[in-house]
Structure 1
């Protein structure tokens, strides 16, 4: 598992998936918790509200992963060129 995170290209691909999942969770949570007019069970409603918190959290984690992997890729590229 640590070998997976030692390659910046793997982390970059994972960050794209984390960003997509975070965006999907955020949008589904906003729609279900605030825009949907139908009756929902309380468990579903609580889950949708939680998604409005977990979605942006995943967005932030994915963005930081992307920044770190791009930094490592550019640093490795400079090292190869020099």
Structure 2
């Protein structure tokens, strides 16, 4: 493999890593939106889905260059709703 091919392969791998991060991050944001909506309406909610996706993001970040996300508590959701 020549240098150009090696650079292209590496660049493509980084791109695909970031694409997967963006997919996971969008899923996490959707899960946060659902929890916030339920909380605003005074209904029971869980952060389990948010944190399951966050765990996937953390594991994924270990394989490349994507950023990390923090786990979310129910109190964090309530605080966000109460501030807004």
Greater RCO, CA 8 A, separation 6+: 1
- The TM tier, using the shorter chain, reads 0.3 to 0.5
Task: Give the helix-richer structure, 1 or 2.
Answer: 1
